[in-house]
Chains A and B, each alone.
Chain A
Amino acid sequence: MSVVLETRSLVKRFGGLAATNEVSLKVERGARHALIGPNGAGKTTLINLLTGVLEPSSGTIALDGSDITHLSVHARVRRGIVRTFQINQLFNGLTPLSSLALTVSAQQGKSAGWWKPLGSDAAVAVECENLLERFRLADVMDLSVGLLAYGKRRLLEIATALACKPRVLLLDEPVAGVPEGDRQEIFETINALPAEVSILLIEHDMDLVFNFAKTVTVLVGGAVFAEGDVASISNDPRVKAVYLGEDDAADAVLAHG
């Protein structure tokens, strides 16, 4: 399998604190890769580095072998690195339909059009219809995003990411705050993505992680603590000790995540 996304000795310091410390990570084509670790392990910081929201203090990031360390956020999205946010980042003044129509237009290279209305493009409308159906947003498509219930907002967050047609999808706790019943559905949609899409998942729910992922990387204190397939990680005594431990303290930490 070929490596799609690779970091070499990635470091991010905030003052004296190294939130990301010498992280070298390889995400393979079609990967179902989970990133786990206790709170404050630097998971979201790593995603922010990969997507260009943060600039690394040192180290490099490569996509398909070419250096993207200093590319802007939007340029990386155009190359296929797409993320969802742990805390919903939505366009509250738009509707779900117009949000998705804008995203699809951007994906199809039509977002610079300044004369024809957004809604005049048939290809965009068809794609929006599919997304709204798949994420059960059709009934609220004309409401203001700011007025949607949390569950719908979460679905829109993920639908927006998928509308970008990712090649590498970074999911930052996609089902955080989603009721149990809807979680499976979101994961089914994610699982239904084409096999060549590489997925890096941050998740606290270990059942979901072990069902979904083939590879697991454990981050602790900003550094890679362990890496391997699901079986070896779930049986690794060191990982158990820091993270999966049966002791109540660790559980309490997880529950708050």
Chain B
Amino acid sequence: MNHADTAGLAPTARSLRGYARWRWWELALYAALPLSWLLLPGQALLLNEIAIVALFAVSLDLILGYAGIVSLGHAAFFGFGSYAAALFAKNWMPDPLTGLAVAVGASALLGLVTSVLILRGTDLTRLMVTLGVASVLYELANKLDTITGGADGLQGVVMGPLVTPFGRFDFDLSGRVAYAYSLLVLGVSLFVARRIVYSPFGVSLQALRDNRLRAASIGLSVRLRLVAIYTIAAAIAGAAGALLAQTSGFASLDVFDFHRSAEVLLVLVIGGTGYLYGGVFGAIVFKLLHDLVSAWTPQYWNFWLGLFLVVLVLVGRDRLVRPWTWFGRKR
């Protein structure tokens, strides 16, 4: 927000506009996305994984961090998008962008349908219901092996080239095209999500997260809003799943697995909830930590992850990222 724009405004209006202004670190993050592609060509495969997990975690943040909907089964939408994209490429059309759109649409529809299950009950009910939905989809994908390939996964998915106004790009082994593609989807999704969370609708989600009774008492339909954000988050999770299937040319039962729902929750907790970028920072830290620790001691990754989580939660993220406060006196 530039100053000439707001100088003539009353303090209230200026303050109100200031909520949605771009912070310097946000701009730095958006700038870092293309820079990582330019500067780290050898790491494209790892970075691509990070971008996909980041997108997945951002979608979880929309429902958990903003609307306060807890979920242990967010992989349902990730997996659904993954299989939708893979099946579409295999049976109908190898074009990645069309496949992405189909996967997003399919996951959004699944989100819309299953959102009725999370409207009632307590957090515990929601944890169980979301977990249940993901398990049901896992077993469906396992059982319908004529369509999904069952436990072997869906193999032989051949993706066509990315057709853009700048030319056609084939997915290559180094993963650079794949990473550019994932980055673009992540960047666009983040931008759209940012518009959403600062809009009246987005702020109303935080309001109903804090106090549903009051949200209804100022005339907001809590249920409609929960349905809407659940559907949007499902669509974005589906996009992340589609990216995985398209850039790896493979979809397996693993995309619906419980560990994926748990991992995305961990990633989001590491990065922090409720400010939109937690998923991105969490994915970077999580994947780098995973890479470093597994290179050093492959068997005991979970030990170090666990230790890191305990420290993170006990010390607090705010203090952990500000080392200069570690030894100062408490004020």
Contacts and interface: CB of A to CB of B under 8 A. Distances in A.
Interface of A: 51, 53, 72-74, 77-78, 82-83, 85, 89-94, 97-99, 101-103, 105-107, 110-120, 122, 124-126, 128-129, 132, 138, 141-142, 160, 163-164
B15 A122 contact: no
B203 A77 contact: no
A89 B200 contact: no
A78 B210 contact: no
B199 A117 contact: yes
7 contacts: A85-B213, A89-B217, A93-B209, A103-B218, A132-B12, A160-B218, A164-B219
A94 B198 CA distance: 12
B195 interface: yes
A115 B213 contact: no
B200 A125 contact: no
Contacts of B12: 97, 125, 128-129, 132, 138, 141
Report, nearest first, the 9 A-B pairs whose CB atoms are least far apart.
Answer: A119-B16, A77-B219, A117-B20, A125-B13, A73-B216, A89-B214, A129-B12, A114-B201, A91-B210
A111 B201 contact: yes
B16 A101 contact: yes
B199 A113 contact: yes
A51 B198 CA distance: 29
A94 B210 CA distance: 9
B31 to A, nearest CB: 22
- The A interface, classified by DSSP as helix, strand, loop or mixed, is helix
Contacts of A115: 195-196, 199
Interface string B206-244: 110111011111111110000000000000000000000
Given A89-B213, A110-B200, A164 B218 contact: yes
A103 B202 CA distance: 13
Given A93-B210, A122-B13, 7 more contacts: A77-B218, A89-B213, A105-B200, A111-B200, A117-B199, A119-B19, A128-B16
Contacts of B9: 125
Contact of B216 (A74, A91, A126, A132): A74
Contacts of B203: 94, 98, 101-102, 118
B20 A119 contact: yes
Contacts of A94: 203, 206-207, 210
B10 interface: yes
Contacts of A105: 200
B17 interface: yes
B146 to A, nearest CB: 40
A91 B9 CA distance: 26
A24 to B, nearest CB: 25
A126 B18 CA distance: 15
B204 interface: yes
A180 B201 CA distance: 38
Query: Taking each of B15, B16, B203, B213, which has the highest tally of chain A beta carbons within 10 Å of its own beta carbon?
Result: B16
B198 A117 contact: yes
Given A89-B211, A93-B209, A97-B15, A51 B200 contact: no
A128 B17 CA distance: 13
A53 B214 CA distance: 11
Contacts of B274: 93
B219 A74 contact: yes
B204 A111 contact: yes
A236 B21 CA distance: 61
A126 B12 CA distance: 8
A228 B206 CA distance: 44
Contact of B217 (A82, A107, A124): A82
A33 B248 CA distance: 69
Contacts of B202: 114, 118
Most buried by B among A53, A91, A115: A91
Interface in B187-203: 195-196, 198-203
A174 to B, nearest CB: 15
Contacts of A72: 216, 221
A129 B19 contact: no
Nearest to B196: A114
B22 to A, nearest CB: 11
B213 A53 contact: yes
Nearest to B213: A89
Given A106-B219, A119-B18, A142-B15, A90 B211 contact: yes
B17 A119 contact: yes
A91 B10 contact: no
Contacts of B15: 97, 119, 141-142
